Amino acid sequence: MTAEPTAVALPATRPLVVLWRFSRPHTIVGTTLSIVCLWLLVAAELPAVAVGEGVGYLLATVLAGACVNVFIVGLNQLEDVEIDRINKPHLPIAAGDLSVPAARAIVAVAGVVPVALALTQGPAELIFVLIGLGVGVAYSSPPLRLKRWPLLAAISISGVRSVVVNVGVALHFATSLGGEETVVEPAWALTLFVIPFSLAIALLKDVPDIEGDRRYAIATFSVRLGPRRVLRLGLAALAVAYLGMAVLGPLLCQGASPVVLVVGHLVPLALVLAWAARTDVADRAAFTRFYLRVWGLFFLEYLVAAAAWLTG
């Protein structure tokens, strides 16, 4: 039996730093930014909404979304301590900076808080919070542990990022703020964009982790197909997302600025292709930087969507 890290609690000198590392900051930023932009887009469709009331719902939803995020990534770290010691030794549990009992307590709180908040926010948020938590458990934990099968793992990640976040949050804001059970046009457009984009994220995230995944029989696409083919598949998914929005967006999205849609998607596509051409898939650090840049483009997409619909 492998011994657990010797730390028994969050280090007293830097508890917030450790908690921030445990939360996987790029995912927290992505969740928060998507919720804020969706609130702006829904509020723009519901001009009669009181500003104070809208901000209250926004803050509650941001907190719930952040907690769901911490629950999902935290549970994954608890289940993958040995793998992370090979693939991501900088993570708090793997590095010995956070004890397993302390991590379990954080994950438990992160699971309870969004459910408690959702009970006060309406049925739409409650349903999608429970779906998000359920997918997180199914992805990381036995008996399902969907991450063992690359297609199911990718569908899980894409489903949460595209449908649960975009459709769920937009529906929650619409029903809470305006009483209408509807999903506004920009939320549908973002959902269609994020489906292939989050599939790309699901593919690319495992490229630097081949060693540990192979050792512990996690048959990711990177393990099965090799990193170069996975990079090509990821770039193809990103191209589908960007070209789809640049070409079909101006034709189908009547409420958005066509100039912003075209420029805001062709430029990032050119950037990601240029970055990929200069990235060595065998260089773990270099590919990790590339992967985080892709996350930066994910953040950018919500700003582009907000700009397109609010100026359209």
Distance, CA of 204 to chain centre: 13
CA dihedral 125, 127, 128, 131 (to 10 degrees): 150
User: Does residue 50 carry a pLDDT above 70?
Assistant: no
* Better pLDDT: 312 or 260: 260
Exposed/middle/buried for residue 254 (C-beta within 10 Å: 0-12, 13-18, 19+): exposed
What are the tokens at 34? Answer: 């998507």
* Better pLDDT: 55 or 98: 98
Q: What average pLDDT does range 149-154 have in this prediction? A: 91
What are the tokens at 27? Answer: 């995912």
User: Does residue 12 carry a pLDDT above 80?
Assistant: no
The residue segments making up the domain with residue 236 are 15-310
133 belongs to a structural domain: yes
Number of domains present in the structure of the chain: 1
Residue 2: predicted pLDDT: 42
Residue 31: predicted pLDDT: 94
Q: What average pLDDT does range 140-161 have in this prediction? A: 93
* Cβ-Cβ contacts under 8 Å for 292 (sequence gap 6 or more): 26
Rounded to whole angstroms, the Cα distance separating 105 from 206 reads 27
Q: How confident is the model at residue 4 (pLDDT cuts 50, 70, 90)?
A: very low
115 belongs to a structural domain: yes
Q: What is the CATH number of the domain that holds 224?
A: 1.10.600
pLDDT in tens, 78-133: 999 999 999 999 999 999 999 999 999 999 999 999 999 999 888 889 999 999 99
pLDDT in tens, 222-236: 999 999 999 999 999
Q: What percent of the chain has pLDDT over 90?
A: 80
Distance, CA of 117 to chain centre: 20
1 belongs to a structural domain: no
66 belongs to a structural domain: yes
205 belongs to a structural domain: yes
* Better pLDDT: 238 or 7: 238
> pTM for this structure?
0.89
Q: Among 11-25, 169-183, 246-260, which range has the highest average pLDDT? A: 246-260
Residue 254: predicted pLDDT: 87
User: Does residue 23 carry a pLDDT above 60?
Assistant: yes
Nearest Cα to Cα of residue 27 among 205, 216, 271: 205
pLDDT in tens, 250-302: 999 988 999 999 999 999 999 999 999 999 999 999 999 999 999 999 999 99
Residue 3: predicted pLDDT: 43
210 belongs to a structural domain: yes
Question: In one letter, which amino acid is 106?
Answer: I
Q: At what angle do helices 258-277 and 227-252 cross, to 10 degrees?
A: 170
38 belongs to a structural domain: yes
Write down the H helix ranges in the chain: 15-22, 25-45, 51-79, 81-87, 92-95, 100-121, 123-140, 150-159, 169-173, 185-204, 210-215, 221-225, 227-252, 258-277, 284-310
pLDDT in tens, 196-213: 999 999 999 999 999 999
User: Does residue 11 carry a pLDDT above 60?
Assistant: no
User: Does residue 10 carry a pLDDT above 80?
Assistant: no
What are the tokens at 65? Answer: 């979304």
232 belongs to a structural domain: yes
